[in-house]
Amino acid sequence: MVEYILDFRWAHDLSLSTARLFFMAYFILITVFGLSMSREYVFRGAEDRALWRDLRLWVIVIMTVQVSLYLYF
């Protein structure tokens, strides 16, 4: 029983397509987390409020690259 849990043997029967779904769910969760940051928090300390300084846009770019890589490979 201990090995079954610690060694993730419950996952041995899952397909790689299911694994990909887990990964995508994680990426979406992280993206939503990044986008949920308030405007005030994201710009705190910034010299100005130019669009490129909106760190939520940076999150979108980074996670788009991430999702694309994990869909392609």
Cα 49 to chain centroid distance, Å, stands at: 25
What contacts 42, CB < 8 A, 6 or more positions away?
54, 55, 56
Cβ 38 to other proteins, closest distance in Å? Answer: 11
Residues 32-69 as b or e (16 or more Cβ within 10 Å = b) = eebeeeeeeebbeeeeeeeeeebebeebeeebeebeee
Shortest distance in whole angstroms from residue 65 CB to other proteins: 5
Q: Which residues bind other proteins (CB under 8 A)?
A: 2-3, 6-9, 11-12, 14, 16, 19-20, 22-23, 26-27, 30, 33-34, 37, 41-47, 53, 55, 58-59, 61-63, 65-66, 69-70, 73
Least Å distance, CB 27 to other proteins, is 7
CB nearer to other proteins: pick between 51 and 61: 61
